[in-house]
């Protein structure tokens, strides 16, 4: 994985462009996401552990919005169920290209990994195959809010009995005091990871038009509306959380 440090927002920008998963972001993404998302390494590794509990024989495990394939690699490290294969999907060609390189690297280091296919495409236009595990790891927040229920319904329809959707997101909070406290603590987390006030401020304005977090209550309601029977939060660190949704 690239070790290049994220300095994308370190210099003052006359106008901060909307955040995009382009080649510049791809180069620094492993560093960016680890220093920006509290609990990210724990979520990714345990997503593999959880997936191993829900994986059903001869089914697909989806990594939707796979970026560089961190979740796909964790699935391949942990799932041993017969006949499973991973399908990773991302609509950023820069991400997909680098993801394929990293997965080739994983293939050359380990034997008997689950087969994987990386698709460059829009998850909103995907024809889902019967799946036992679907991971949306910090991806739904980048989908237009009015498209989210339809996507989750289609995922629900594809899920096999015994399977699960694992959904990780940045959260907002309906209680203003809770929202302010956890937002401040997230800024402190970024500062402690070496980001300057300028970097934090410019990143915030880059993502505010493209990334729309929901509250835990909104997620729960929407998942139930999409047909899921049970929603179980399994991880929260500051304003970032991960949920298991059962079909
Ligand atoms: C924050 S990143 C996901 C991080 C990744 N899952 C991980 O755990 O390392 C969000 C990803 O979703 C992808 N994405 C956003 N909208 C998408 C869409 N409609 N279809 C496919 N991928 C999408 C972006 O290109 C980006 O790579
Ligand atoms: O809230 C932030 O500042 C973030 O950086 C969050 C977040 C995310 O949750 O995906 C946004 C964009 C980058 O992909 C990395 C992290």
CA distances from 129 to 91, 133, 243 (A): 18, 11, 22
131 CA from centroid of ligand 2 (Å): 27
Q: What ligand has the least distance to the C-alpha of 139?
A: 1
Give the ipTM. Answer: 0.97
Cα dihedral angle (172, 230, 73, 48), rounded to 10 degrees?
Answer: 110
Angular region, 159: left φ>0, alpha ψ -120 to 50, beta rest: beta
Angle, alpha carbons 201-207-211 (nearest 5°): 140
Q: Write out the DSSP string of 147-187.
A: GHHHHHHHHHHHEEEEEEEEEEEEB--SSHHHHHHHHHHHH
Would you say the CB of residue 207 lies under 6 angstroms from ligand 2?
A: yes
Sign of CA dihedral 95, 98, 26, 216: positive
Would you say the CB of residue 195 lies under 6 angstroms from ligand 2?
A: no
Ligand 2 probe mutation, 41, 138, 143, 214, most atoms within 8 A of CB = 138
Angular region, 193: left φ>0, alpha ψ -120 to 50, beta rest: alpha
Cβ–Cβ under 8 Å, residues 134 and 56: no
CA distances from 124 to 83, 90, 139, 144, 226 (A): 26, 11, 12, 10, 15
Where does residue 127 rank: exposed (0-12), middle (13-18), buried (19+ CB within 10 A)?
exposed
28 CA from centroid of ligand 1 (Å): 15
Domain boundaries, the chain: 40-172+211-246
122 three-state secondary structure = coil
Fold of 40-172+211-246: Rossmann fold (3.40.50)
Give dist(CA 133, CA 136) in Å, integer. Answer: 10
Query: Ligand 1: which atom is nearest the Cα of residue 92?
Result: 25
The two tokens of residue 217 are 């209550």
Residue-level pLDDT at 3? 85
The contacts of residue 201 (CB under 8 Å, 6+ apart) are none
Would you say the CB of residue 138 lies under 6 angstroms from ligand 2?
A: yes
Residue-level pLDDT at 1? 77
Residue-level pLDDT at 2? 80
Q: What is the mean pLDDT of each run of 10 residues along the chain (247 residues)?
A: 92 97 98 98 98 98 98 98 98 98 96 96 98 98 98 98 98 98 98 98 97 98 98 98 98
Give dist(CA 167, CA 51) in Å, integer. Answer: 12
Q: What ligand has the least distance to the C-alpha of 120?
A: 1
Residue-level pLDDT at 228? 98
80 CA from centroid of ligand 1 (Å): 25
Query: Ligand 2: which atom is nearest the Cα of residue 240?
Result: 9
Ligand 1 probe mutation, 38, 98, 142, most atoms within 8 A of CB = 142
68 CA from centroid of ligand 1 (Å): 9
Would you say the CB of residue 92 lies under 6 angstroms from ligand 1?
A: yes
Give dist(CA 129, CA 119) in Å, integer. Answer: 14
């Amino acid at each position: 994985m690239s070790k290049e440090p994220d300095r994308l927002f370190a210099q003052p920008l006359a106008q901060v462009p909307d955040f995009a998963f382009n080649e510049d972001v791809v180069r620094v993404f492993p560093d960016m996401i680890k220093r920006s998302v509290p609990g990210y390494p724990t979520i990714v590794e345990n997503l593999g552990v959880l997936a191993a509990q829900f994986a059903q024989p001869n089914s697909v495990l989806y990594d939707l919005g796979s970026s560089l394939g961190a979740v796909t690699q964790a699935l391949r490290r942990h799932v041993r169920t017969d006949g499973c294969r991973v399908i990773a999907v991302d609509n950023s060609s820069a991400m997909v290209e680098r993801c394929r390189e990293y997965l080739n690297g994983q293939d050359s280091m380990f034997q008997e990994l689950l087969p994987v296919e990386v698709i460059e495409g829009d998850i909103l236009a995907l024809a889902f195959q019967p799946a036992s595990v679907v991971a949306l790891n910090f991806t739904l927040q980048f989908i237009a809010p009015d498209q989210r229920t339809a996507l989750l319904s289609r995922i629900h329809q594809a899920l096999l009995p015994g399977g699960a959707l694992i959904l990780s997101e940045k959260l907002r909070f309906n209680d203003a005091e809770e929202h302010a406290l956890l937002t401040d603590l997230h800024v402190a987390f970024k500062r402690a990871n070496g980001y300057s006030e300028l970097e934090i401020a410019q990143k915030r304005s880059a993502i505010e038009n493209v990334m729309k977090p929901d509250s835990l209550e909104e997620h729960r309601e929407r998942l139930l509306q999409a047909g899921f029977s049970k929603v179980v939060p399994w991880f929260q660190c500051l304003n970032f959380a991960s949920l298991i949704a059962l079909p």
